[in-house]
Structure 1
Amino acid sequence: MIETRLLRQFIAVAEELNYHKAATRLHMAQPPLSQAINRLEDKLGFSLLTRSRREVKLTPAGSAFLEAAYNTLKTLDSGVEHARQVSQGSAGKLTITTLSIAYYTPLLNTLRQLREALPKVQLSLKEMPSAQQVQAIMSAQADLAFMRKPPADTPNMVLRLLLEEAIVMALPMDHPRAQTEHIDLRDFAGEDFVFTPHALGSGYHQQLIALCEAAGFYPNVVQEAAQLHTVIGLVGCGFGVALVPASIASSFMQDKVVFRHLLPVTESGNPAIGLYVGWNSHNDSPLIPRFISMLDIHLRPEH
């Protein structure tokens, strides 16, 4: 391994072609500089310079090695600067897993701010169900997750509630109750339902099941779909009805699907669905607190 100090000493001699001037430039005595160049040549196994009383010249190998020395130090300096920026949270990579974010303006605005404020940060977005997001966070495949709350605590998983939204009913446009502004979930005990699979988000899935059970029935799930867009599409073509977060109500297929608010099924009201941000407490990426700080700004009421 060749020390960078030897490379810098060789570059000084190669540029000055004078040991005395090179030593002065390096703030060292001439004899130790000569010895350093000799050690470098011994390490390399070939001569870099020819010396005489009148002049110092680079050998052909010395000229080639000078370019290599320049490139090595340039690469090293660039790498050190990049590492410094990563340590400061102004560069690096941030991997975010998320549910569909099209309906969450604060999160979208935070992503835009991150891109504008930190152009050297490589942002990777991966859509996946909540259960898979937990696995990605715990296996260090992701830094931040925007998901529904898992059914049980996960060691070293930090969870923070960002917002809560109502559960609404998605109905085909031609459903008998499509024109009713507020509907009673109890009236749907005999209906066919479209659900997301339990395995892809057991906490969210169980919350919807519990709401139906509070209304006095267990839903007859005739079809499952991993993505809410697909769930709504299936409702639109007549597969059944679906319980979905209110944020999706203004999304699409409004010519085929209507979204209706639910009357309370208990005296305490209907539970809301939370959107959480999660990360691994052992992940010390400085980009995590920077992103959270930006997100906090966009979650304020004035935004």
Structure 2
Amino acid sequence: MPTLRQLRYFLAVAEELHFSQAAARIGVSQPSLSAQIQRLESTLGCRLLHRDRRTVGLTDEGSVFVARARSILREVDHAVREVRDRRDGIEGELRIAFTGSAGFRILPDLVGSFRSERPRVNVSLQELPTARQLDALESGHVDACLLRDPPEDPNLDQLPLLSESLVVALPRSHRLASLKRVPLVELASEPFIFQPRIDGLRFHDTILSVCQEAGFFPQIVQEAENIQTHVSLVAAGIGISILPGIARGLRHPGIVYRPIGPRSVPITHLVLAWRRSDDRPLTRAFVAVARDRTGRRGALPN
């Protein structure tokens, strides 16, 4: 079979119609160029060029072959560029799982900044609860996760993105809605809407813990996975919900958000996590964007 070198040499001669000029163009000696053309013709079993001491021209077979050679080399060059772009993280696919609360502010900020730097990368997003995010990350179905209060894992690297206090979401007509800050003990008799433990076990356990420290065990009347559903259920009067502070960005005319006090309550953390073994340029580039954006925000308390 003809080699790519032979195709390139032949195309140079076909375009220059002069062996010396073609050799200078591709940076080889004329005898080397002539030898490669002869081998190509021998492989094909026909003459591609007719030449004499003064002129070089294409045979009928050469005229047909030059178009094919040009197309083949164009495709090969395109494939090489595509592979190198993927190797360097210029294009490809980045798969990100995220918890619902990250979608209010952090996710648009990070993904928007990343896409402005690497517009040829396809960013695939999937909203998942914490436990399923960790499973997807471990199995390699996603490349990075935006999740809340993940457990320590020696196989993962983590970057804190946002630290925030908890707030309580109340119906606007609730007896406690007029307070600027709601003492936790005042919620002892209230019906609670909780996130299922399997979906966000550390966040779930944090709320249980602060309630128990205040002297009561919450009356859980409804479970819901995402914050938007919590807000809708609170507005419907089903119960109250303790949420991360970022939930205040989710406006609803039927509810109010109040800090919990008078003493401080635990802080919840939104974290970017990725596999420690992942050395893909795309993953590392996204982490670099997250570090940069976190540094600019001061990152932390909400």
TM-score normalised by L of structure 1: 0.83
Q: What is the alpha-carbon distance in structure 1 between the residues aligned to residue 82 and residue 152 of structure 2?
A: 36
* Pairing 1:279–2:277 present: no
C-alpha change, 1:248 and 1:24, in structure 2 (3 Å) is closer
TM-superposed deviation, 1:288 = 3.1
Q: What is the alpha-carbon distance in structure 2 between the residues aligned to residue 28 and residue 127 of structure 1?
A: 57
C-alpha change, 1:164 and 1:192, in structure 2 (3 Å) is same
Q: Aligned pair count?
A: 294
Any unmatched runs of 5+ in structure 1?
Answer: none
TM-superposed deviation, 1:245 = 0.8
Contact 2:90–2:118 (Cα < 8 Å) also in 1: yes
Residue 256 of structure 1 aligns with which residue? 254
Q: What is the alpha-carbon distance in structure 2 between the residues aligned to residue 142 and residue 168 of structure 1?
A: 31
Q: Over aligned residues, Cα RMSD in angstroms?
A: 2.8
C-alpha change, 1:202 and 1:30, in structure 2 (3 Å) is same
TM-superposed deviation, 1:8 = 0.8
TM-superposed deviation, 1:128 = 2.1
More deviation in 185-194 or 165-174?
Answer: 185-194
Contact 1:49–1:56 (Cα < 8 Å) also in 2: no
Residue 198 of structure 1 aligns with which residue? 197
Q: What is the alpha-carbon distance in structure 2 between the residues aligned to residue 263 and residue 144 of structure 1?
A: 35
C-alpha change, 1:143 and 1:28, in structure 2 (3 Å) is same
* Pairing 1:141–2:136 present: no
Q: What is the alpha-carbon distance in structure 1 between the residues aligned to residue 105 and residue 115 of structure 2?
A: 17
Residue 184 of structure 1 aligns with which residue? 183
Q: What is the letter of the counterpart of residue 232 of structure 2?
A: G
Q: What is the alpha-carbon distance in structure 2 between the residues aligned to residue 155 and residue 61 of structure 1?
A: 64
Q: What is the alpha-carbon distance in structure 1 between the residues aligned to residue 87 and residue 144 of structure 2?
A: 18
Any unmatched runs of 5+ in structure 2?
Answer: none
Q: What is the alpha-carbon distance in structure 2 between the residues aligned to residue 215 and residue 250 of structure 1?
A: 27
* Pairing 1:104–2:70 present: no
TM-superposed deviation, 1:99 = 2.2
Partner of 1:166, secondary structure, is strand
Contact 2:184–2:261 (Cα < 8 Å) also in 1: yes
Contact 2:171–2:177 (Cα < 8 Å) also in 1: yes
* Pairing 1:228–2:223 present: no
Q: What is the alpha-carbon distance in structure 1 between the residues aligned to residue 243 and residue 227 of structure 2?
A: 8
C-alpha change, 1:2 and 1:228, in structure 2 (3 Å) is farther
Within 5 Å, give how 1:1-303 maps onto structure 2. 2-43=2-43, 45=44, 47=46, 49-51=48-50, 53=52, 56-100=56-100, 101-104=102-105, 108-150=108-150, 152-253=151-252, 255-263=253-261, 269-286=264-281, 287-300=285-298
Contact 2:182–2:262 (Cα < 8 Å) also in 1: no
Contact 2:169–2:234 (Cα < 8 Å) also in 1: yes
TM-superposed deviation, 1:250 = 3.6
Q: What is the alpha-carbon distance in structure 1 between the residues aligned to residue 176 and residue 289 of structure 2?
A: 43
